[in-house]
Amino acid sequence: MSPSPVLPPPPVSVVGIGADGWSGLSGGAREALREAEVVIGGARQLDLLPPECAGVRVAWPSPLRPAVPRLLAEHRERRIAVLASGDPMFYGIGRALAEELGPESLRVLPHPSSVSYACARLGWPLEDTKVVTLVGRPASRLAVSLHEGRRLLALSADASTPAMVAALLTAHGFGPSRMRVLEQLGSEAEAYVEGVAESWAHAPGDRLNVIAIDCRASQDALRLGAVPGLPDEAYEHDGQLTKRHIRAATLGALAPAPGELLWDVGGGSGSIAIEWMRTHASCRAVSVERDPARAERIVRNADRLGVPGLKVVTGPAPSSLSELSELSELDVPDAVFIGGGLTAPGLLDACWEALRPGGRLVANTVTLESEALLAERYREYGGELTRLAVAHAVPVGGFTGWRQAMPVTQWSVRKPSASAPVPGDRT
């Protein structure tokens, strides 16, 4: 007698639920919850279910993400339903479940998200509204999205978030911005308060809230554009700063794309890594700086300019690069920028070796010794060798003349997709 086929476990139902609770669910969502043998969710969400949902109720522990594999494995042979706030696939638990089980093992039943409700109440087109989540993330990441006339929705971590956002807006020159805090969206207790960031005085309200921001800059606010080449005044530095025009050209050569990782070797003030990350929310970077004071300064610059996720490694290159390669979560770099220390033995070789096939390497220098090294590598491996020169108009007596900055030699090259020799290998 042949053995019975092993049936795959039933799909996990991921049910979005709003502040309106059971009454706001569709028929399909209610059926999935009634049939579930195990219902996993936050304590607040589980309390919204009626007695007819007879499955075992399991509250997520804190921290949540590490517990996902264990809880799913523990109940995998039973019919599982997971409760999520609003749309499970929009900054919700649906992402973690899809990564853990695969999309084919999920049955997602979304509910309108708080963002959809907020745009409906405000009359804002959803596709034109920037959304920034501050749930489990620093409020400083909002800074990268601040532009005159922009409409933002910030997903709050709790009742204290609106005051934090008001303070951040004011500190970044956006104190005149109008703020509206929308609470308990979709429920009978729905309410909102409004005011101006620089004079925000509302006491903390409900922890379930979304912050709508009409960005308005003060007259003396430093203008930060959406493309590389921020004003030099945007950075705290000790002179070790890739200046604005050279920085813009360097980022153009590095050509960041969504999801890519940069190693910024010889970080200085962190400007290259910071502006790499500002090009897209999914861009990642690691800045390597040997001087501890400068490394701390990079952290402050990254936080102030809206990319607190920048990783900073304090230590000399190339020895610290081997440590980066051992950190699997950092992955293989898609691009490497060398802003200093080119003549350190083995540095260029180590950067080339670490770079993924097809990745880009860009190196800048102002010294003759490093320039000779770049010229040698250019002859051997191609790419582009460029001299960048910038002059600024300055007073000359009662007239105006040009003051030339030190020219910068830049080598940019793409690593072949097929195997290629390491620079410096003459065998």
Where residue 5 falls among pLDDT bands split at 50, 70, 90? low
* Residue 133: predicted pLDDT: 95
d(CA 2, CA 18): 48
C-alpha of 98 from chain center = 20
Beta carbons within 8 Å of 420's beta carbon, 6+ residues apart: 357
pLDDT in tens, 198-233: 999 999 999 999 999 999 999 999 999 999 999 999
Which helix (H) or strand (E) covers residue 182, if one does?
strand 178-183
pLDDT of 313 over the 60 cut:
yes
pLDDT of 363 over the 50 cut:
yes
Average pLDDT over the chain reads 92
Where residue 259 falls among pLDDT bands split at 50, 70, 90? very high
Which helix (H) or strand (E) covers residue 155, if one does?
strand 151-155
* Residue 233: predicted pLDDT: 95
* Residue 256: predicted pLDDT: 97
Closest CA to 141 of 347, 283, 332, 18: 283
pLDDT in tens, 128-161: 999 999 998 999 999 999 999 999 999 999 999 9
pLDDT in tens, 104-120: 999 999 999 999 999 99
Instruction: Count other C-beta atoms under 10 Å from residue 114's C-beta.
Output: 26
* Residue 424: predicted pLDDT: 46
Give me the mean pLDDT over the 48-53 stretch: 95
Closest CA to 114 of 180, 26, 19: 19
pLDDT in tens, 153-167: 999 999 999 999 999
The residues facing 81 across adjacent strands are 13, 39
Contact indicator for 142, 165 with CB cutoff of 8 Å: yes
pLDDT of 327 over the 60 cut:
no
pLDDT in tens, 384-397: 999 999 999 999 99
Q: What percent of the chain has pLDDT over 70?
A: 94
Number of C-alpha atoms within 13 angstroms, CB side, residue 318? 16
Model-level pTM? 0.90
* Residue 4: predicted pLDDT: 57
Instruction: Count other C-beta atoms under 10 Å from residue 222's C-beta.
Output: 11
Contact indicator for 179, 197 with CB cutoff of 8 Å: yes
pLDDT of 321 over the 90 cut:
no
Give me the mean pLDDT over the 33-48 stretch: 95
Q: Is 149 exposed, middle or buried (0-12, 13-18, 19+ CB in 10 A)?
A: exposed
* Residue 425: predicted pLDDT: 45
Q: What percent of the chain has pLDDT over 90?
A: 84
* Residue 6: predicted pLDDT: 56
Residue 398 CA: distances (Å) to CA of 128, 296, 394, 401, 404: 50, 43, 10, 10, 19
Which residues of 243-316 form beta strands (DSSP E)? Answer: 261-265, 284-289, 311-314
Where residue 319 falls among pLDDT bands split at 50, 70, 90? confident
* Residue 2: predicted pLDDT: 57
d(CA 107, CA 105): 7
The residues facing 193 across adjacent strands are 181
Give me the mean pLDDT over the 258-272 stretch: 95
pLDDT of 276 over the 70 cut:
yes
Beta carbons within 8 Å of 221's beta carbon, 6+ residues apart: 172, 173, 174
Sign, CA dihedral 193-194-195-200, equals: positive
